[in-house]
Amino acid sequence: MKIAASLIGLFGQIQGFDIPRVGGVFHGYQWEAPEAVAALPAIDQSAVLNAPVAQRAPVLPVAPVAPIAPVSPAAPVAQADPVSQVLQARASEMPVQVQEQQNFEPVYAPSSVGGYDLSGLPALNSPPPSTQFVFHNKLPKSGSTTMKYIISTLQKANNFHMDYQAPCINKATCALDVEDGLGATTKLAGHVKEQRDANPGKFILLKHQYWLNFTEHEMEQPTYINVVRDPVTRFSSMYYFNRYGFKSMGSEARQGAVRHSWKGTEEDIARTLDMCMEEQGEECTEPLQVLVRYFCGTSQECNMKSPKRGKFGSLNDWNKVAKAAELAKKKIITQYYSIGLMEKFDETLALFEKMLPGFFAGAPAAYRSQFVQTQRESSKTAHTDGFSNSTRTWLEEGPLRYEMDLYNLISAIFYKRLSYFGIGSAESMTMDPK
């Protein structure tokens, strides 16, 4: 029974039930924010895409750096392994981008894009903070399963070790251990140290996890990456996923109303997202602030819980959400090497390939392999009724307004990086991973 209780608490964490709810007052379908909350800037996509790259003061010439050798193809494999064959061909023909060199002439984005202050953003051509340790602290329902299978197929060709972890390092004690779970600190640091000692060389960690400062545990800070999804579509996907589970992945226990994470009633299951908005259901008026918490981190000031509890968990403290969102912005700008967009997944993989070729060389080819596409299909939500434009507007301007603010900031940075690296148009590239 204790293990079952731990699992229940665990999946509640994955969905973010320890993340508080947004405050404010509703009048009909209109959202009236508290007076203390300032209006958030709307992103100007044209400004993001077309704004010139600001040049900082010139730096002294540096000695030429020898080009990095192309990634060696994997050893030949059996004819029955098409994934490895695709990766070998892709790796052998693709020149590795010189991004990991120590000497470079920095090229900066404009200090302000789309109303966001990017003055603290490192140079667009900065080398990664670590060439040996990458951490994808993946968000739920944001292409993380697809990323898992892409990265797993790249291990051999790119010679690195992937450590894929559940939200809890120790599942048996996680529910009662504040050092474990989504906010893992000492447990995660200890696990990573053990794994890196056992697997010297390049190491990439995938885990549902709030941002963690590894230097506080006397460890090397990793190169942080992530992929985010439009908050409204992410919320809709999670809304229906909580009811119906995966399309075909895993056991029956991971599908439908028998899923251990479901906290509602049979009547709640049949309620569409539009109905939830119209009826002002708690799931919709008190949504989880997932992006805020994941990017803010593990510190106490990122805890947005209210003492009040509702049917689906703790309610939000609006003022705490506002403060945590500002901290999350700073982390996004200064602590993340690259964050992609699920809606621009092809471009995201192309960007990762250029910025971290030691790990992501061949990623676009891996994504299109039959193996990854099969896994991608099975990890979709089993059933969804979608949502109307009025529900989208209501969520964007009300309960998910802070989520949208962070998403727009990430988009602004993402498009500047695409422009710098000369990555092609969305019309010709994008393939939604679902």
306 sits in which H/E element: strand 305-310
**Domain-located, residue 100:** no
**Domain-located, residue 67:** no
67 three-state secondary structure: coil
Cα-to-chain-centroid distance, residue 354: 19
**Domain-located, residue 204:** yes
Average pLDDT over residues 165-187: 93
- Number of structural domains found in the chain: 1
**Domain-located, residue 115:** yes
Q: Flag whether the pTM goes above 0.85.
A: no
Picking from 261, 240, 281, the residue whose alpha carbon sits closest to that of residue 395 is 281
Compute CA distances 311 → 4, 23, 141, 170, 284, whole Å: 20, 16, 22, 28, 12
Question: Distance between CA 41 and CA 264 in Å, rounded?
Answer: 35
**Domain-located, residue 360:** yes
Q: Return the ∠ at Cα 279 (arms to 277 and 281), rounded to 5°.
A: 70
**Domain-located, residue 90:** no
Q: Which residues contact 354 (CB under 8 A, 6 or more apart)?
A: 97, 99, 421, 423
Summarised one tens digit per residue, pLDDT across range 12-70 is: 444 444 433 333 444 433 444 444 444 444 445 444 344 443 443 343 343 443 443 44
Pair of tokens at residue 120 = 């603290």
What is the three-state SS of 105-174?
CCCCCCCEECCEECCCCCCCCCCCCCCCEEEECCCCCCCHHHHHHHHHHHHHHHCCEEEECCCCCCCCCH
Domain of 367, CATH number, reads 3.40.50.300
DSSP character at residue 245: B
Q: Which residues contact 382 (CB under 8 A, 6 or more apart)?
A: 244, 245, 246, 247, 248, 255, 256
**Domain-located, residue 195:** yes
Flag whether pLDDT at 80 surpasses 50.
no
Summarised one tens digit per residue, pLDDT across range 403-425 is: 999 999 999 999 999 999 999 75
Q: Which domain holds residue 150?
A: 2-38+107-429
**Domain-located, residue 370:** yes
Summarised one tens digit per residue, pLDDT across range 270-314 is: 899 999 999 998 889 988 899 999 999 999 999 998 999 888 888
Summarised one tens digit per residue, pLDDT across range 193-215 is: 999 999 999 999 999 999 999 99
